[in-house]
């Protein structure tokens, strides 16, 4: 596998990760996006999440699809992909499974589509399956599966029945109680979580008085969402740790310190996404920073960081933060 420090290696749902870093879905296409960048190596990542895949080909949303915002980025790609048959038959055979682990990202607009795509990936060399439950349920008036615990659990349970591969449920922050949603997904058969997906946002062109994003709204990622993501990871960890359920913490990671914060909050692995767009060679730097932290703290393994947060004993402030 990788030539990285062995102290970074870990087990994730029975899969060997060479490092705790995961390349996030949508940021590296189907695994080939960054191979053309000189100096980039998949060996610096424990796993790569492939682009969201649906039952049939999708062309995605009208432009503009991406817009840079202060400390972040809005995107509304619209799940453009060639469909699961093309991914399984034509793309997966080109990937080097000796370099890293590859995780499929399953998306759908109905429970039946999630089942179809999951079943197809189950009969493939893919290492694990990530369920993107932030998609709108067309049969329920467009309500996102991930914003309702009942619908989230239905999708996870349906996918669980058609695959033996590890299931990673990607939780949405756009819901009332993410911990309760996590609990329901564990009961339905989720093996792991990815926390969090993007927050919904908007940017407006004041001269034309129209949104910059062609879809009007998009998912906000980048450093702007890191404090929210850290809290959500900590909240999900309170539920997941009793069941031995690992978490991929993600949202605004750009430095080794960011990654370590997510590990302390309860993540087993750490996702890197938006930062790759301006620094595609960021992974080795983050890995080196984590190793340096292990040295400073006198720790033998990256797993010793997970859940190491020491909460203050002071009374919590009101929810308004006053």
* DSSP H or E run through 118: helix 111-122
Distances (CA, A) of 81 to 86, 108, 141, 209: 9, 12, 23, 31
Active site residue: 13, 49, 135, 159, which one?
Answer: 135
Q: Annotated catalytic, 135?
A: yes
DSSP string for 244-292: T--EEEESS--SHHHHHHHHHHT-SEEEE-GGGGT-TTHHHHHHHHHHH
Burial letters for 6-20: b for 16+ Cβ neighbours within 10 Å, e otherwise? ebbbbebbebebbbb
What's the CA gap between 26 and 35, in Å, rounded?
15
Helix (H, G, I), strand (E, B) or coil at 79: coil
Alpha-carbon gap, residue 122 to 31, rounded angstroms: 19
113's enclosing H/E stretch is helix 111-122
Task: Enumerate long-range contacts of 294-300, CB under 8 Å, 24 or more apart.
Answer: 294/7, 299/7, 300/7
Residues labelled as active-site residues: 135
């Amino acid at each position: 596998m990788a030539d990285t420090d062995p102290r970074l290696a870990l087990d994730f749902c029975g899969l060997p990760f060479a490092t705790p870093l995961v390349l996030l879905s949508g940021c590296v296409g189907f695994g080939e996006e960054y191979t053309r960048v000189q100096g980039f190596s998949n060996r610096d990542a424990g796993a790569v999440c492939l682009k969201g895949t649906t039952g049939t080909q999708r062309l995605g949303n009208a432009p503009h699809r991406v817009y840079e915002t202060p400390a972040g980025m809005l995107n509304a790609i619209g799940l453009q992909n060639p469909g699961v048959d093309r991914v399984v038959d034509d793309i997966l055979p080109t990937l080097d499974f000796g370099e890293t682990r590859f995780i499929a990202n399953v998306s759908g607009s109905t429970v039946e589509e999630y089942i179809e795509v999951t079943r197809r990936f189950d009969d493939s060399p893919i290492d694990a399956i990530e369920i993107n439950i932030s998609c709108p349920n067309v049969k329920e008036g467009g309500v996102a599966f991930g914003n309702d615990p009942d619908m989230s659990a239905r999708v996870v349970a349906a996918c669980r029945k058609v695959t033996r591969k590890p299931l990673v449920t990607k939780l949405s922050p756009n819901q009332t109680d993410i911990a309760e949603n996590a609990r329901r997904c564990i009961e339905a058969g989720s093996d792991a979580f990815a926390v969090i997906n993007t927050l919904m946002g908007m940017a407006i062109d004041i001269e034309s008085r129209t949104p910059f994003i062609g879809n009007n709204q998009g998912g906000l990622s980048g450093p702007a969402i890191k404090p929210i993501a850290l809290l959500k990871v900590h909240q999900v960890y309170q539920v997941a740790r009793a069941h031995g359920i690992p978490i991929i913490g993600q949202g605004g990671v750009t430095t080794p310190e960011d990654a370590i914060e997510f590990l302390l909050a309860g993540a087993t692995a750490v996702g890197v996404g938006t930062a790759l767009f301006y620094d595609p060679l960021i992974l080795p730097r983050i890995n080196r920073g984590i190793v340096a932290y292990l040295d400073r703290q006198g720790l033998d393994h990256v797993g010793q960081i997970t859940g190491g947060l020491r909460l203050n004993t002071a009374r919590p402030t009101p929810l308004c933060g006053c």
